[in-house]
């Protein structure tokens, strides 16, 4: 018994929707950052599901590169977030102007 691709796509759509709603609603920078990562993982799930359905490795290769870029994003993004929280604890996305040196 195998799981059809429709279930993977529905799960990916739900994860992407949760991430998009969280990104739009929340003002905490760390939670917004996690929502972007959730959206990236939903896209990766879509690529893997289509690669499995089409019996092609191209989708999995794209996922590898997306994960490498996401890892670099995590390093830079967390550095910026830590710099924000060192200057002002409880900072929101509206407080990014404090990094202007």
CA distances from 47 to 41, 56, 57, 78, 91 (A): 10, 10, 10, 26, 35
DSSP 95: G
pLDDT at 28: 85
* CATH class for the region spanning 5-90: mainly alpha
- Here the tokens at position 100 are 């202007």
Segment among 12-21, 37-46, 85-94 with least mean pLDDT: 85-94
Averaged pLDDT, 22-37: 90
Predicted confidence (pLDDT) per residue in 31-67, tens digit? 888 999 999 999 999 999 999 999 999 989 999 999 9
Residue ranges of domains in the chain? 5-90
Does the pLDDT at position 98 exceed 70?
A: no
pTM assigned to the model: 0.83
Q: How many CA atoms lie within 13 A of 8 on its CB side?
A: 16
């Amino acid at each position: 018994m195998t799981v059809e691709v429709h279930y993977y796509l529905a799960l990916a759509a739900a994860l992407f929707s949760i991430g998009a709603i969280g990104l739009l609603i929340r003002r905490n920078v760390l939670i917004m950052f996690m929502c972007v990562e959730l959206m990236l993982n939903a896209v990766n799930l879509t690529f893997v599901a289509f690669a499995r359905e089409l019996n092609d490795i191209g989708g999995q290769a794209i996922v590898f590169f997306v994960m490498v870029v996401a890892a670099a994003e995590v390093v830079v993004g967390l550095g910026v977030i830590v710099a924000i929280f060192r200057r002002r604890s409880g900072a929101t996305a509206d407080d990014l102007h404090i990094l202007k040196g």
